[in-house]
A and B are shown apart, each in its own frame.
Chain A
Amino acid sequence: QTVVTQEPSLTVSPGGPVTLTCASSTGAVTSDYFPNWIQQKPGQVPRALIYSTNKKHLWTPARFSGSLLGGKAALTVSGVQPEDEATYYCMLYHGADQVFGGGTKLTVL
């Protein structure tokens, strides 16, 4: 069974940059996995931010960007805001399956 791995937690200072990564147990993540990034704030419904590696939804703030980095999918937040404190999930397409990572809890301190 495919396992998608993310950093369990990260801490960043307001205004700073941060990069979250997403790895697959099957090997290097490529654009063929169509990486998605989803944000979930405490007590709220998840919200999609990025799809197909680096495509943004209309509601995605400009400071969020997606990429591939060193065989992993990556989500970079440039100029972190206090309201970005949340858990971020990546999701990869593995053939017919879609697999979520365990999530990265981002703390803004």
Chain B
Amino acid sequence: EVQLVESGGGLVKPGGSLRLSCAASGFTFSDAWMNWVRQAPGKGLEWVGRIKTVSQGGTEDYAAPVKGRFTISRDDSKSTLYLQMNSLQTEDTAVYYCTSGSVEGYWGQGTPVTVSS
């Protein structure tokens, strides 16, 4: 059974930092592009960023609103994806989903992040 389990969400003050993790199982993590997607309360889905496989260079790409503040990384030995979020703003408040690449189509349950003073 495929599982993507996010953790690390919570309440943080504006300007603060948070690190999300996503533990994957049930598929070959090292062969998959991995993404972070977020959903603000009552809003639609927003792509945050993506990391390719190590064999493809491990290239990261980010959406404009988070570029320079967020960093995606992966540890294939632990089948775990990370999202380091710095300089958090109130508009970053959302549920953050870990997803595999389009071919696999897997989504995690999400972890909520609230940025508020």
Contact = CB atoms under 8 A, between A and B. Distances in A.
Contacts of B106: 48
Contacts of A87: 44
Nearest to A48: B105
Interface residues of A, number: 23
Contact of A45 (B64, B97, B102): B97
B107 A47 contact: yes
Contacts of A51: 102-103, 105
Contact of B102 (A36, A47, A96, A100): A36
Interface of B: 35, 37, 44-47, 50, 61, 63-64, 97, 99, 102-103, 105-110
Given A36-B102, A48-B105, A52-B102, A98 B110 contact: no
A1 B64 CA distance: 9
A38 B106 CA distance: 11
A46 to B, nearest CB: 5
A45 B109 contact: yes
Interface of A: 1, 34, 36, 38, 40, 45-48, 51-52, 57, 87, 89, 91, 96-103
A46 B35 contact: no
Contacts of A38: 45
Contacts of B108: 45
Nearest to A34: B102
Nearest to A1: B64
Interface centre among B44, B97, B105, B108 (most CB of A within 10 A): B105
Given A1-B64, A45-B97, A47-B107, A99 B47 contact: yes
A48 B63 contact: no
B105 A46 contact: no
A51 to B, nearest CB: 4
A98 B47 contact: yes
Nearest to A40: B45
14 contacts: A40-B45, A45-B108, A46-B97, A48-B99, A51-B102, A51-B105, A57-B105, A89-B44, A89-B45, A96-B61, A98-B35, A98-B50, A99-B47, A100-B45
